[in-house]
Amino acid sequence: MSKKKIAAVIAATAVVSSMLTVGGICYALSLTGQKIGDVLRFAGVMRFIESRYVTEIDSTKLMDGAINGMVQSLEDPHSIYLPPKMYRQFMDQTEGSFGGIGIYMGFKTGKVSVISVMDDSPAAKAGLQANDEILAVDGTPVTEMQPEEVAIHIRGQVGTEVTLSVHREGEENRDFTITRDTIQVKTAAGKMLEDGMGYIRIASFSEKTASEFENVYKSLENEGMKGLIIDLRENPGGLVTSCVEIANLVVPEGPVVSVVNRSGDKEEYTSDLKEEKYPIVVLIDGNSASAAEILAGALQDTKAGTLVGTQSYGKGSVQVIMPMFHDDAVKITIAKYYTPSGRSIDGVGIEPDVKVELRPEAASDVQLQKAEEILREKIAEKAELPYSPSS
């Protein structure tokens, strides 16, 4: 038999073998129509590579690449394949403290930007600033990584170094070499301003944020608070449950946010607050995202708060982790958020009621000043309302 015929027989055998195997899989999974064709194409190529590629193939590595390709084809910056090492790192980083540099990042239009820098963190000490664009991590361009990978590569063992190549508006690109440290995240803090105005900044929404917010809130009440400014600027979001707990202190009774999946199934989170205690002004900017937008949107839709600043980020989607059989996992987007009035946040963001730009060269925080001005008016209006006894 000629070499060509032998090659043809081998190839045909590989294809038939693949078809029989895939046929059984399709039957078991009740696949029909075009999906069967797609699975046959996939299995045929995989089998052909395994049997004919010039060197020995690691089938697990081949499958990892196929899964990664599927997730990347979604073109969703928040969906990612997590191979074993990356999955372990990801899970380690959800325990409340981790080795990192103390920044929050945003992923938009193909860019990785610093949303905010934690006070007294390694990043703050090194000189990183909000709105810095990260170009590379340890020499690897961020364009060669999926967005979520960037965060995982920046984090690492305490005491080790990471080098970020950064672009800052109006300056030449430069490298920052930063030593990782244990990052303990305090997410809510506040103080009393003049004229009975309370101020609480929420840096992100973690497991402890609601309790931290409530402690500050009650402390301000004890000091005689008459109105409240909630600062959500440079807040990348976080846990929806934490956001809803805070909403129960400031958003009137009713829906706070709805989570809707592809089938239209809706899960609604609500507030049980019977009475609004204080007039509220909320500060937002282009780096206010996800749970920050949920809280801001709920306060805006219910007329319980006036939003001041600039249009928010527009991250209104829900992700879940699906662990798999080789200590790996996929993280994918499964639903979108909607405000009480039915607005979708995703890709749109929230427009403030009063737009105020904060320019880098500004000598003072003009957004906060505007918030204070509006809150003073609200406090004065509330004080002038006629007394109406309950019946």
Contact 180, 151 (CB under 8 A): no
The pLDDT tens digits for 330-364 are: 999 999 999 999 999 999 999 999 999 988 777 78
The pLDDT tens digits for 64-117 are: 999 999 999 998 988 999 998 888 777 765 554 568 899 888 777 778 988 788
Q: How far is CA 111 from the centre of its chain?
A: 14
Check if 111 is active-site: no
Per-residue pLDDT band for 390 (boundaries 50, 70, 90) equals: very low
pLDDT of 1 strictly over 90: no
* Segment 6-10 mean pLDDT: 52
Catalytic one among 301, 317, 328, 331?
301
The per-residue pLDDT of the chain, averaged, comes to 87
pLDDT for the residue 23:
57
pLDDT for the residue 5:
55
More confident residue, 38 or 317: 317
Answer yes or no: same fold for 97-183 and 188-383. no
* Segment 183-197 mean pLDDT: 89
pLDDT of 46 strictly over 60: yes
Check if 290 is active-site: yes
Spans of all domains in the chain: 3-57, 97-183, 188-383
pLDDT for the residue 388:
46
Pairing of strands 188-192, 181-184: unpaired
Tell me the H-state helices in the chain: 3-29, 34-52, 59-72, 84-92, 122-126, 147-154, 209-222, 240-250, 291-301, 366-384
pTM (2 decimals)? 0.72
Sign of CA dihedral 75, 78, 79, 81: positive
Q: Which of 285, 306, 299, 279 is nearest to 195 (CA)?
A: 279
Catalytic one among 79, 290, 312, 317?
290
More confident residue, 23 or 124: 124
- Burial code of 345-375, b = ≥16 C-beta within 10 A, e = fewer? bbeebbebeeebebeeeeeeeebbebbbebb
Residue 150 to residue 157: CA distance in whole angstroms: 15
Architecture of 188-383 per CATH?
Alpha-Beta Complex (3.90)
As a residue count, the chain comes to: 391
pLDDT for the residue 97:
54
pLDDT of 264 strictly over 70: yes
pLDDT for the residue 334:
94
pLDDT for the residue 391:
36
DSSP assignment string, 183-197: EE---EEEEE-GGGE
pLDDT of 142 strictly over 80: yes
Contact 147, 112 (CB under 8 A): yes
pLDDT for the residue 32:
66
Check if 120 is active-site: no
Per-residue pLDDT band for 389 (boundaries 50, 70, 90) equals: very low
Catalytic one among 315, 331, 370, 378?
315
More confident residue, 255 or 237: 255
Matching CATH number, 97-183, of 3.30.1490.100, 1.10.20.10, 3.30.2180.10, 2.30.42.10: 2.30.42.10
The pLDDT tens digits for 208-230 are: 999 999 999 999 999 999 999 99
Contact 353, 304 (CB under 8 A): no
| Residue 130 to residues 169, 263, 286, Cα–Cα distance (Å) | 11, 38, 11
